[in-house]
C-alpha cells in the first residue's frame, strides 16, 4: 500500500493504531519501529513520524492496553519520532474509537508545528516519567516536560499505586510539589516502586499546567504476566 506513493516527497507521517496489537504488546515496539525504519528507507530520507498513543478502553485483560501504551512510549526513543497522549479525551471506555478526534488532531498539529516547522511557544509534549527518589516512607516522582509545574483536576491526584519489595501494589496518596509528585501509603512503610494510571481504563487527573495529561508509567520492570 505504501510503495505506490513513495515517489512523492512527504514532510512527515502521522499514525494512529495499536488497538489490534494489545494481546502482543511485548512485540509492538520492535514491530512499530521496524515499520518506521522501512518507510524511511522506501522514501530515502528520515522524515518525522508522529503518532497517537491508543486511548483507554475496557479490553478483556486488565493490563493489555496499558502494556501497549507503555510499548508506544518506549518507541519514542526511535529517532525523529513523537507521541501525543490522549488518555483524557475519552468519555466512554467501552468505545474503542473515541469520538473526539478534533482535539487529537490539534495535539498532532501542535507537535508538528513545534518540532518540524520550528514554531515557538506552543505546548505540545505531555509530562512523562523521568526518575524517582525514595525518602523514607515516600517516593518522589520527577517528570520530563513538566517545567511549568503540574495540576490536578480532582482535589488530589488519583491513579497512583505504590509497592514495597513484596511487589503488592496498593492505592497511594499523592501530593503535587511543583513539577514533581510525592507518593506514599500508610500500608507501605518501605516503598520501592510506583505506578500511575497503569490500567486499561484509567482516565488521568494529573496534567501539566498547559493542560496536557501526564502519561501512564511504572517505575518497576517486574513481569506483568
Q: Does domain 3-115 have CATH number 3.40.50.1110?
A: yes
Quick: pLDDT tens for 110-153: 999 999 999 999 999 999 999 999 999 999 999 999 999 999 99
Domain locations in the chain? 3-115, 128-218
- Separation between Cα atoms, residue 38 and residue 32, nearest integer Å: 10
Residues ≥6 apart with Cβ < 8 Å to 35: none
What's domain 128-218's architecture? Sandwich (2.60)
Q: pTM for this structure?
A: 0.96
pLDDT tens digits, 9-49:
999 999 999 999 999 999 999 999 999 999 999 999 999 99
Residue-wise over 189-199: b if at least 16 C-beta within 10 A, else e? eebbbbbbbbb
User: How many Å is the Cα radius of gyration of the chain?
Assistant: 18
Residues paired with 163 in a beta bridge:
193
Residue 181: count other Cβ atoms within 10 Å of its Cβ.
26
Rounded-to-integer distance, Cα 138 and Cα 92, Å: 34
Lookup result for grid cell 513481569: 223
128-135 sheet: strands from edge to edge = 128-135, 138-144, 180-184, 173-177
Amino acid at each position: 500500500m505504501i510503495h505506490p506513493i513513495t515517489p512523492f516527497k512527504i514532510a512527515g507521517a502521522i499514525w494512529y493504531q495499536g488497538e489490534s496489537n494489545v494481546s502482543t504488546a511485548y512485540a509492538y515496539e520492535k514491530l512499530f519501529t521496524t515499520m518506521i525504519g522501512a518507510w524511511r528507507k522506501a522514501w530515502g530520507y528520515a522524515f518525522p513520524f508522529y503518532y497517537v498513543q491508543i486511548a483507554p478502553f475496557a479490553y478483556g485483560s486488565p493490563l493489555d492496553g496499558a502494556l501497549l501504551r507503555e510499548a508506544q512510549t518506549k518507541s519514542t526513543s526511535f529517532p525523529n519520532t513523537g507521541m501525543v497522549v490522549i488518555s483524557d479525551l475519552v468519555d466512554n471506555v467501552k468505545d474503542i474509537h473515541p469520538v473526539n478526534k478534533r482535539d487529537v488532531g490539534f495535539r498532532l498539529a501542535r507537535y508538528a508545528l513545534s518540532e518540524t516547522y520550528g514554531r515557538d511557544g506552543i505546548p505540545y509534549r505531555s509530562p512523562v516519567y523521568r526518575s524517582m527518589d525514595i525518602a523514607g516512607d515516600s517516593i518522589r516522582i520527577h517528570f520530563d516536560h513538566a517545567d511549568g509545574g503540574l495540576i490536578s483536576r480532582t482535589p488530589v491526584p488519583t491513579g497512583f499505586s505504590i509497592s514495597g519489595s513484596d511487589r503488592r501494589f496498593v492505592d497511594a496518596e499523592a501530593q503535587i510539589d511543583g513539577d514533581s509528585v510525592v507518593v506514599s501509603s500508610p500500608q507501605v512503610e518501605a516503598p520501592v516502586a510506583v505506578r500511575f494510571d497503569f490500567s486499561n481504563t484509567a482516565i488521568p487527573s494529573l496534567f501539566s499546567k498547559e493542560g496536557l495529561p501526564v502519561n501512564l508509567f511504572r517505575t518497576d520492570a517486574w513481569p506483568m504476566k
